[in-house]
Structure 1
Amino acid sequence: MDPDLSDLSEQIALDPTSFIGIPLALVGAVFLSLGAQFQHRGVVKVEARTVDTLGKGLSGRQLALLLARPSWVIGTVMLGLAILFQLSSLYFAPIIVVQPLGAIALVITSILNSRLNHVKLNRKSIIAIVMCVGGVFLFVGVAAFTAVDRPVTDTQLVTILVILAVVLALAGVAFGLFRRRIRAIFYVIMAGVLYGFVATLAKVVLGRIEQGEFEWLTFTCLLGLLLATALGAYFVQNAYATGPPDLVIAGLTVVDPMVAVVIGIVVLGEASQAPVWANGVFLLAGVIAVWGVFMLARNHPQTRL
């Protein structure tokens, strides 16, 4: 190969097939948006017909009633499809490239929620949404050409599992102690954090299964993934009961990828080839996007404060 072409190929971090993950992630975002809208409708109807649980968490009876709501079931199926497309995108591309693309779901959800519930978004809410999406896409724009996809070592995997165990414990303690004072933003942030670990562990499990390495560590990953998914799903349902669907999606599509990205950069070394300026852009984009979530939580016309 020509030396110049060889040097050029080394500068292109992603294999061409990795870009297949981008359209898959975008399709998943559409299903995520529709699923959130349907699930939110189901949760609101169940909560309206039972004892108010604002700040206390949905009861077991209410969770059972959700299974009888067609809108909630349809939303759950759509979220299942969103997860399927998300996992497919993670198979082809690094976490820090495709995971943030779910932010497009925030735009779709905001438009749908505004039309279906006849709620006009105020100026500050629109600015917050633009910050969320703009920050995420700025991040992806840089990551797509600087990220590298590396196999996960056992040491890295143990590190991720230990951090997840600490997060699960803290989430459980916080919910147990402060559940009567909890509002939507807590559920949104915690669900986003947990799903960030879910995305990371899902990519790890897929990679190990492909390599035929299904041993105790992979099984532990799968167990942690299922536990984080279950607790995250419970937090999401409570977030629907205390806030609008676009706030929930803002948390899931901003906090979720930011957590996965931090793991990808700090633990997995996916940004090891990125220049110094790219790391600065990553930090700036993350701050903009996360601040947008808090702005949306404070200024959305449907948020219960």
Structure 2
Amino acid sequence: MTVLAAVIALVGSLFFALGAALQQFEAAGSAKPGLLVLLRRPRWLIGGVSIVTGGGLHIVALGLGPLTVVQPMGVASLLFALPIAAALHHRKPSRRELAAAALVAAGLIGLVLMVPESDGPTGLAPTGVLTLLGVSGVAAALLFLGSTAASPTGRAALLATASGVLYGATATLMRVLVDGSWNWWYLLALPVPALLALMMLQRAYAVGHFGVSFASLQIADPLTAVAFGALLLGEPLPTGVLPVAAALLAAVGTVALARTSPLEARHDPA
């Protein structure tokens, strides 16, 4: 069952990578990467279906195997996404680009394996939900404002990080709902950070530095979820030097990606 879970998680990562690459291809270089525009593009919609499929397979894998096996397979989506995105833009990823992605993946694997598992159900009071939405919203707004004055590489990283923060808030709220703290207005609040995250991510993709955007998203999302889990749900945090080293490794890989990932744009025929 563990081998089956690993295989399903790996296939899920491939679907997630394909979806991200397709959506970035449609958004890259777009002057107006708004959702209403992108929703009219079949390839972008196919990318969305692929991402949902990948997420579903990841959930199935978590039901079949241990977290320590499934989560590292999910991180592999970065290594899949770069070659797929490069192929869509009619180029080959460089060795340095892939090596940088491998550093990010290694750092993320180290982080997810060192996060202690939570015991028992989680609960969140209404004030906690408001805090969750408020903190993530303010953080995303500050990152968005910072992106307006940044270089293209910095803009892609900051926008994707803002998206990751909002997705991390979404994941935290979803975990509370799944664990039994069911409340109809919690359910109504759930789409707010999710939609804002999707909008931020498309803006990041529109810049054209896919490797930087995708790596920043993959780092910010789990770190935000872990932080909210500790602050609002009382979940344990990883301790010691190793988690810090893993985070630094992921950061170094992202900086390396920023230097090696080319600026890409989708050129529509006239």
TM over 0.5: yes
Opposite residue 91 of structure 2, the aligned amino acid is: V
Contact 1:297 1:303 in 2 (8 A): no
Query: Structure 1 residues 95, 153: closer, same or farther in 2, change over 3 A?
Result: farther
Query: Structure 1 residues 264, 96: closer, same or farther in 2, change over 3 A?
Result: farther
Deviation at 1:296, TM superposition (A): 1.4
TM-score (norm 1): 0.70
The percentage of aligned residue pairs carrying the same residue is 31
Which structure's CA Rg is the greater one?
A: 1
Give unpaired runs (5+ residues) of structure 1: 1-15, 48-52
TM-score (norm 2): 0.78
Deviation at 1:227, TM superposition (A): 0.8
* Alignment of 1:204 onto 2:204: no
Partner of 2:247: 286
Contact 1:161 1:224 in 2 (8 A): no
SS of residue paired to 1:147 = coil
Query: Structure 1 residues 222, 293: closer, same or farther in 2, change over 3 A?
Result: farther
Partner of 1:166: 135
* Alignment of 1:188 onto 2:153: no
Opposite residue 83 of structure 1, the aligned amino acid is: G
Contact 1:30 1:108 in 2 (8 A): yes
Residues 24-59 of structure 1: CA deviation (Å, up to 9, x unaligned): 5444322210101111222237x2xxxxx3xxxx36
Give unpaired runs (5+ residues) of structure 2: 266-270
Query: Structure 1 residues 94, 151: closer, same or farther in 2, change over 3 A?
Result: farther
Contact 2:160 2:200 in 1 (8 A): yes
Counterparts of residues 88-237 of structure 1 (less than 5 Å): 88=60, 101-143=73-115, 146-154=116-124, 158-159=127-128, 161-172=130-141, 175=144, 177=145, 180-181=148-149, 183-208=155-180, 213-215=181-183, 219-237=184-202
Query: Structure 1 residues 226, 109: closer, same or farther in 2, change over 3 A?
Result: same
SS of residue paired to 1:181 = coil
Partner of 1:243: 208
Opposite residue 21 of structure 2, the aligned amino acid is: Q
Partner of 1:299: 260
Residues 113-162 of structure 1: CA deviation (Å, up to 9, x unaligned): 2334343444543332121111122234444xx5244311335x744640
Q: CA RMSD in A?
A: 3.5
SS of residue paired to 2:28 = helix
The whole-number CA distance in structure 1 between the counterparts of 2:129 and 2:176 is 10
* Alignment of 1:41 onto 2:11: no
Query: Structure 1 residues 94, 269: closer, same or farther in 2, change over 3 A?
Result: farther
